[in-house]
Chain A
Amino acid sequence: MHAESQIREPLILGNKTYTTITDDIIRPVEGKTGKAWYVLFTISTLTFLWGLGCLAYTIGVGIGVWGSNNGVDWAWDITNFVWWIGIGHAGTLISAVLLLFRQKWRLGINRAAEAMTIFAVMCAAIFVLFHTGRVWLDYMLFPLPNQFGSLWPNFNSPLLWDVFAVSTYFSISLVFWYIGLVPDFAAIRDRAISPVVKKIYNLLSLGWGGSAKHWSRFEEVSLVLAGLSTPLVFSVHSIVSFDFATSILPGWHTTIFPPYFVSGAVFSGFAMVLTLMLVVRRVYGLQAYITIKHVEYMNIVIIVTGSIVGVAYLTELFMSWYSGVEFEQYAFLNRATGPYAWAYWCMMTCNVVSPQLFWFKKIRTSLVATFLLSIVVNIGMWFERFVIIVPTLCRTFLPSTWNMYHPTFVDIGIFTGTIGMFGFFFLLFSRYFPVIAQAELKTILKISGEQQKKDAAAHSHTHVHAH
């Protein structure tokens, strides 16, 4: 076992042992449900139901109940889709990319972040499935043998690439998450007193026993899945950006979109992880495992990706001027000064200015400031997608087609409904699943535990004196 420098701050605070880690993380699953949980769950469920009602109304009456119109034919649906998919990206980044880079601090947050990925992609899927207009014909997106010719989907289309990318992303993330959960389900099973609970978690744990051979395979599978997920996560948002970049609309037709979208996705995803984790650590008393240092690390990622996003905005502006194409120039002038200028400047403030506050150590280590700024970033990133889509479509080549976009109550209902759905699933997850990967967290206890680090320091100190 290797020792870690004393300069590095501990990742597990207090005097923890293997048992106390198990206790701290599994107790919320075994204990009584708190009042706060019921309140949040009721609000989420009601919002979710309202969203389902709006979806039913959309199916019944038709997609005309949305605010989308002839000019602005893509609006809230795609904005929300890209927003949710982007949020999902942080989960994969934390669990896969940080695993490849051997960043141990991922272990405090990877489980919940991966759960966030899965629920966010589910929310995103609702918009793409329903924006086709006839949701019951969505099977035609897949290359299934049929009696129309056979008429196959168009493999040249970025929208079809999206179908493959998002479904691969969802299913691989789900498998990655579940394989990590198996040992923790086994831990719950082995502690369970009630035979019913034991039975349920035994079913979920797939009979895991933690033999050396199985752990060896487990680690190999995690590593390879991380290696596969890393290019996957970059490909997914690149492909999402192709939906726009391969068109010929001014403001969309730019080569900068893939890296710009990917960094924006990571940016908004980390903001969402912070929003969620700050609540989870408080409600479940996990301050020893999700420490201020974890929050600071995530805030640093937010500075980096937020700055990349800022540079991308400026590059877009410069290129539209430098290209000499009038339409291109107008598209950006329209964004900044047109009818949706308020959205543009809201985006600029939230995404470019506000994350720069994290350069101050006081702010990036303050939980209140982080929580508020993470919500600001989430709002800013929603407006980024809105600004890319709606102001562009409402002022295209022909002035006679110019019109404004106004969301209807159905648009708003479906969007808030997905937020409710996300909350619904995330709350169920945090209630019945261990929110921290306790088995893997135990591997860093001796290296990064606070008490263990102190003991190691004391030990090396006496060692020096002895010589």
Chain B
Amino acid sequence: MAGVITKKIIHGVYDDEVPLLEACKKLKSAGIKVKDVFSPFPIHGIDPIIGIRRTRLAICAFIYGLTGCGLATLMMWYMQVHDWPTDVGGKPNWMYFHNVPAFIPITFESTILCAGHGMALTYLLRCMLVPGARAKNPDPRTTNDKFLILLELPEEKAGEAENLLRTAGAIEVNHKGTKTEPLPY
């Protein structure tokens, strides 16, 4: 078929994160891209090796927080100052600025509310963690004690990759068939 590339899918399974990190380094220096790594817990220091950039979720949280802060301000200005100014024990109510001290708690709570929920939702949707989603790990043992390197690479590199996975200490190397992708242009 023209314009299509066939890739082999290989799973390198480890029983510890140290040899897995070693294998990732070796694959990287051999110019083989690690498609993904699945592990029972976060492996620290793996991100730069397999080319994961720092997530921007914290920036999202900041923006959501600002939104929450703004919405709360707008709401309280509209309800308490503009639409129906209420005289509570003679406290100033004719302009937002004079009322600010009393509005700080709700502004703060609303900032946290929007930042927290906004970020959590973004995280879940960005990772496609939704009710009913199918398990994303290719091997069910990776939520217990196994660590898995997922490779998708052209046929001719498969032998070299398997060798590298094994020398780093893989307990299993499983061939999981092939998949076809359009050629990158």
Residues of A within 8 A of B (CB): 1, 17-19, 22, 143, 149-158, 160-161, 164-165, 168, 171-172, 175-176, 179, 182-183, 186-187, 189-191, 202-203, 205-221, 223-225, 228-229, 231-232, 235, 239, 242, 439-440, 442-443
A454 CA to B110 CA in the complex, in Å? 49
If A172-B117, A228-B112 touch, whether A216 touches B144 (CB-CB below 8 Å) is: no
Are B75 and A172 in touch, CB under 8 angstroms? no
* Identity of the chain A residue whose Cβ is nearest the Cβ of B78 in the assembled complex: A152
- Selected from A179, A217, A235, the residue in CB contact (under 8 A) with B108 is A235
**A residues less than 8 Å from B112 (CB atoms):** 168, 172, 228, 231-232
**A residues less than 8 Å from B128 (CB atoms):** 207
Interface bin, chain B:
35 or more
A168 CA to B140 CA in the complex, in Å? 36
B102 at the interface (CB under 8 A from A): yes
Are A143 and B123 in touch, CB under 8 angstroms? no
* Identity of the chain A residue whose Cβ is nearest the Cβ of B129 in the assembled complex: A206
If A156-B102, A216-B47, A440-B41 touch, whether A143 touches B75 (CB-CB below 8 Å) is: yes
The 10 sampled A-B contact pairs (Cβ below 8 Å) are A18-B145, A19-B145, A164-B105, A186-B135, A207-B135, A212-B39, A217-B126, A224-B61, A231-B112, A439-B40
If A156-B99, A209-B135 touch, whether A17 touches B145 (CB-CB below 8 Å) is: yes
B130 at the interface (CB under 8 A from A): yes
A interface footprint on B90-112 (CB within 8 Å = 1, 0 otherwise): 01000000010011011011101
* Identity of the chain B residue whose Cβ is nearest the Cβ of A173 in the assembled complex: B116
- Selected from B41, B75, B127, B130, the residue in CB contact (under 8 A) with A217 is B127
Q: How far, in Å, is B59 (CB) from chain A's closest CB? A: 10
- Selected from B43, B58, B79, the residue in CB contact (under 8 A) with A215 is B43
Q: How far, in Å, is A390 (CB) from chain B's closest CB? A: 26
Are B86 and A208 in touch, CB under 8 angstroms? no
In the A-B complex, the 9 residue pairs with the closest CB atoms: A209-B136, A207-B133, A18-B145, A209-B137, A152-B79, A190-B140, A206-B129, A215-B42, A187-B143
- Selected from A143, A205, A212, A217, the residue in CB contact (under 8 A) with B36 is A212
* Identity of the chain A residue whose Cβ is nearest the Cβ of B58 in the assembled complex: A224
Q: How far, in Å, is A279 (CB) from chain B's closest CB? A: 27
Q: How far, in Å, is A15 (CB) from chain B's closest CB? A: 14
